[in-house]
Structures are given as structure tokens and as C-alpha cells.
Amino acid sequence: MMTSKSDTMESTTLLNKKTNEESSSLKKYLTPKYAIAATATIALGALGVASQSSSFGRGQLKLGSSNTNTSNNKVVVRQSRLGAGSPQTISLHTGCSPLNKLPFDTSSDWTGKIGAKVVSKSMQSDFRFENAQNLQETSCGNYEGTVDLEVGEEFGFYLYPLGDESDESTVLDNGCLHEGDGRCPAFSSPSALAGIEQCTSKYSDPGSGDVFYNRVFDGETLAYNWGTCETTCANSGPPGCPQISTEPEVLDAQTCPISSGTGDAGYTDNYRGWYDASGCGICQDYCRWVGNSGSGGDPSVRTSSGDSFWSCRKAGGKASNPGTNQKDFCPDPSNTNIRNVGGCGSDNYSARGYYGDTFTHKKCSGQGVQANPITTTTPSSEPELMKFESVGTYAYTAPQTGMAKILVVGGGGGGGGRSGAGGGGGGVVYVESYPVVAGQTYEVQVGSGGAGGSGITGSGKNTKGGSDDDPGKAGSNSVFQDLIALGGGGGGSSWHEGGYPGGSGGGGKYGHVGGAALQSAQSGLSGEYGHGFAGGSGTSGSWNAGGGGGAGSVGVSGTSSVCGNGGDGFTSDITGETVTYGGGGGGGSHNPACSSGGEGGAGGGGKNGMPGAKDSGENGIDGLGGGGGGGSTTSHHGGNGGTGGSGVVAISCCTPAAALR
């Protein structure tokens, strides 16, 4: 067929028009649906939304880098593909997720209303919502899907209201941090990112200053909680969802249980015996802690430890279906084979892992007796406060799963003797969102205050050859699991010039600098959320010493007429009252006496010894981690330095799941 010149021109015009339309469409297509700009306020949770005005090329936004090609006046938009890894069936849960800042309703029944998607780098390098893969709702607030993920691949999860796929409503749980940036809202702050790096990859955009945290597939974890690195959750769904029984799911054992009969290796007879594990009111179930005594700990408060676990022979269970553990069966009087030791074919003990996260059953005095009452605990709407103030080592058991507030204060440093400087306040670590799991124990240590230095000179004292006095001693560290608050540094004395380093540094004697603060230099969360300041210097023109540093401010330096005050401490309301911790001790004096100063810093810091007298410094306050005050003198001998106050560990657990949402 012949084609006229006019037809050709018309076709070219139409082609150019279509190309322009496609280019315009492509431009719209490349505008980020959701620009990974949500803020991370609890663990991983990205709890904000982005604007469509977000610029290209920032952060993770590599728009069009691998999905578009323009050549010969043609625009090709390639289809997104699944990852190149092996297919993995993953599940997403929201029962313990930080949902409180989602821009849509999370308080009512989610069923059929809230959707979820998974997105990975291999699906789309910019993590756009429209390229994410749908997850199937399995129950209210829970989702599942099969996706190709390679080990080390970055990915994340979207939540959104079904029927509304606007930018404001599609929220990705990858973290983003940049104070004051429109794409990382101002309520984002470093203090909210506790634990975020344990399951994410950090990427810093040199252009915008934004810091992104993307999930990373480890090849093993297949169950996830939206918005957090935690992989376990005791809640079946968000608060608006219908409540599902927490009774463990009854499943057939895939292998023969280790236990067989009542004579197997166990954690002594203290824990083997009759229980009412079926919930029938009568103790007809024979349970045991399977394993050896070397597994450690008290199995009455745990469900597994290494190769050991709880296992029960359920009364009324059927040997023909081993491991089935029929929890709805009450005792069958005709069943006389409860203690059969014949192996898998006739032994119906529960397999490892059957009891999940809790084994609450109390041992009975014998078979067939009335069951002991079981006390169940419903998570309170108010956090539970636990405070450890006495020096020593403890084990804290979390009452529920959630995000706890943790305050750790080290022991205060002792003040120096004889015109000595103030001791440094104990270092402080305060984390507002520390993930804990119900029933899990955490190590707690409360540190003691450091001894004050002696102000009496005499033979055999320290390093100066028989005529020197003592500096203050460092306080001891306080600990909550991996959070370590350093003890305060000791204050310098007449012969021991400079202040000593610590959580907060001790003050320096006359003419010498105060000790350095070490708390913020610690690794991990102890430094990231640590507080401590240096001690003040002593004046070079007279013998007035500097104050110890506090957890909130530096110690004040002495002058020719003023003794240095201790630095103020760190203020917290974790106990329900506003309290200051870790104040520095006041600096001591020599002739001519200082006319003012030497006060202990707010937060338990001790005052100096009375200027113009041979007087000892006051002790720091126990339970606050205050530094001891420096001793004062008028001549050769002088007052002792005050002892530092002991530290404290306080836990407010937990922000309940409902409040987190």
C-alpha cells in the first residue's frame, strides 16, 4: 500500500505526541510514591510519611537507574521482578509494633481493612510502594507471602489502608533520621533509635545528610514485627483485633521427643512430677524438665535452655498419634498407661517447643489431687516500675513484652582529702525504648560510691614518699544487661594533683585540671545514650580546688576566692517524679579559705569541708550517684574527702502494646 507524504507527517506527529505523553507519564511514574522518609521512633519503626514533593536522587532514591531506558524517541518501562534469591515464605506481625503514629486508624478491627506489602532492593531500588509485593492477610494484623530474597538483600514492609494508596497513607517501616528535614520529620531523634542497627543496614546520603536504616535479610529469620527488630511477640494482633487464645497451637511432633517415661535424664525430681497441664482442675499430667542439671537456671520459670525443655505426658492423650498433645482432653479413668516407657509408639510426651514462651503450671503434691491455682497476669495499661538502689547484683525478669525505659546510674567518685577536689558524679545511661521480652531475665548491678581520700599526712601513704594525702577513689559501675554506667572519677588531693577520669570526671586540685568524662565515649548504647561531664580545674593562684563533673554539666573551676561547685546531674522522671542523678562534689579549700562555692551539684553531690577549718567533705547521696565533697584544711593535716553516693538502676516496663500502637 502506498503511503503519502501527508500520511507520514501525520503519523510522525502522532508518534511524537504519544512519545511526549509517555515521557510525561514516565515523569509522573518516577515521582516517589513513598520516599522512605518515615521517622524511626521506636526500634526500626518508620512512623511518618513522605511528601510527593520529595526530590530525586536523595538517600535511597535511585529512581530510573535500573528500570527505565530512553533511546530512539522510545520510552521503555521495565516490569519490576522478584528477587534473585530462593523463594522464602515470610510472615509479618503487628501485635507488638509501634503503630501510634500511623496516619490511619489502628484501634479498630483490622480484618479486611489494612493491607501489607514487602519490598526489596531487587524488586525496585528505590523501595516504591507500587513495586512492592502484596502479602496475604492470615488473621487480623498478621500477613504472609512467598518472596525471593537473597542473603544480605535490603528490604522492608509497607502498611496501608485498603483502598487508599496515597503517599500519606502508605508507610514503610525502614528508618530515616535527619532532624528538621521535611522528609525525616522533626520528631525523629537519635534517642528513639535504640537497637535499630541490629537488623538493618545504615546508609548516609552525603547530599542531604539523611541517614537510612533498611532491613537486611539474614537468610534465617522468616517472622517479622512491623517497625521493630524484635522477632517475637506475645500478642496475637493489634488491640482492635479479636483476641485469639494464647494457648499453644497443638501440632503433631515431627520427631520422637527426647523424653521417655519418668526415669529419663532430668533436672532432678524437684521439677519432675504431676501437673495440671491440661487445665482440667486435677493433676493428671506427668511433666518433666528434659535435660541435665548442667543446663543451669530454674526451669520452673523458663521453657527452654539449650537442648533442655519442658515436656508433659497429657492425660487422655492417644498413643496411636504420638506427640499430638490433645489439650482439650480431661483425664480418662481408663487410661492407666500414663507412665508408659515404650517409646514413640506408645509414649505421648510433648515435643520440644510445645509450650512456647510460658510454662505457668505449678507442681502438685501427687497424682489426682486438686490443681494448684494458676495466677495469670494481664499486661497493665500503666508501666511497672522496678528500682534497684542497694549495692549488689540482681536478676530482673520483664513482666511483659514491650519497650522499657531504663535508667542506669554509676556510683559517685570520692572527694579528695586535704584541700581536695570534688568527686565526679556517676555516669548516667538513659534509654527510653529498650526492647524486653516477658519472662526473660536481665542482669542488674548497682555500683557503690568511691571512698573519700584521707586528709591526714603521714608515713607510708601512697606514692609521694611518706608525707602525702589521698585522692578520692573511683565509684563502681552500674549495669543493666549491655547498658553500663561508669563510676565517677575521684577528686584530686593536695599531693595528687589532677582529677581522675570516670563517668563524670573528678575535680582537679589547685593549679591542675579536672578529670575527663568517659561515659559518652563508651561503645554501643552506653555511649550513645550516656551522660557525663569533666571535672573543674583548681585555681593556680590559691589552693581552692575544682568541683567534680556532673552527668548534666561540667564541674566549676576554683578561683582565688571561690571553691568550685560540683556540676549538676542528669534529670529524669522515670520514677514518676522529677529527680536529678549524678551530681558532682564540691571542691575543698586551703588557707586563704574560699569565701563561697564548694557546693555539691544537683543530683546528690556532696558539699566541701568547711573552708578555713580542717573539715571533711560531705558524702554523696546514695541512690543518686553523687560525688563526694573535697576535704578542707588550714595547714599540714586536713579533712577527709566525702564518699561517693551509690548508684541506682530503674526500669519502667513497659510501654504496653496498646500504647505503642
Task: Give the span between the Cα atoms of 39 and 211, in whole angstroms.
Answer: 10
- Whether residue 426 contacts residue 486, with contact meaning beta carbons closer than 8 Å, is answered with yes
Q: Which of 623, 619, 561, 615 is nearest to 585 (CA)?
A: 619
Tell me the pLDDT band of 271, cut-offs 50, 70 and 90: low
**pLDDT, tens digit, 9 for 90 and up, residues 119-147:** 988 887 777 888 899 999 888 888 988 88
Q: Which of 641, 609, 598, 603 is nearest to 622 (CA)?
A: 603
pLDDT at 631 > cutoff 80: yes
Q: For position 602, what pLDDT does the model report?
A: 95
Q: Which of 213, 232, 211 is nearest to 221 (CA)?
A: 232
DSSP state of 199: S
- Whether residue 390 contacts residue 633, with contact meaning beta carbons closer than 8 Å, is answered with no
Q: Is 537 exposed, middle or buried (0-12, 13-18, 19+ CB in 10 A)?
A: buried
The pLDDT mean for the chain works out to 71
Q: Can you tell me which residue has the cell 582565688?
A: 560
Tell me the pLDDT band of 425, cut-offs 50, 70 and 90: very high
Kindly state the average pLDDT of the residues 153-165: 89
Kindly state the average pLDDT of the residues 531-557: 92
pLDDT at 618 > cutoff 70: yes
Kindly state the average pLDDT of the residues 19-48: 32
pLDDT at 350 > cutoff 70: no
Q: Of the given ranges (108-112, 352-356, 501-505, 627-631), which has the lowest mean pLDDT?
A: 352-356
**Range picked from 184-193, 257-266, 545-554 for highest mean pLDDT:** 545-554
Amino acid present at 453: G
Q: For position 218, what pLDDT does the model report?
A: 85
Tell me the H-state helices in 439-595: 524-528
Tell me the pLDDT band of 235, cut-offs 50, 70 and 90: confident
Kindly state the average pLDDT of the residues 435-461: 81
450, 452, 453, 454: CA torsion to nearest 10:
-140
Kindly state the average pLDDT of the residues 540-554: 90
**pLDDT, tens digit, 9 for 90 and up, residues 217-232:** 888 888 888 877 777 7
Output 342-347 pairs: Cβ under 8 A, ≥24 positions apart. 343/256, 343/260, 344/256, 344/257, 345/319, 346/319, 346/322, 347/257, 347/259, 347/260, 347/261, 347/313, 347/319, 347/322
Q: For position 586, what pLDDT does the model report?
A: 96
Q: Between 181 and 59, whose confidence is greater?
A: 181
Q: Between 597 and 241, whose confidence is greater?
A: 597
Kindly state the average pLDDT of the residues 17-22: 40
Kindly state the average pLDDT of the residues 33-38: 30
pLDDT at 605 > cutoff 90: yes
Q: Which of 85, 402, 52, 63 is nearest to 227 (CA)?
A: 402
Kindly state the average pLDDT of the residues 638-660: 79
Q: Of the given ranges (220-229, 389-398, 472-481), which has the lowest mean pLDDT?
A: 220-229
pLDDT at 295 > cutoff 50: no
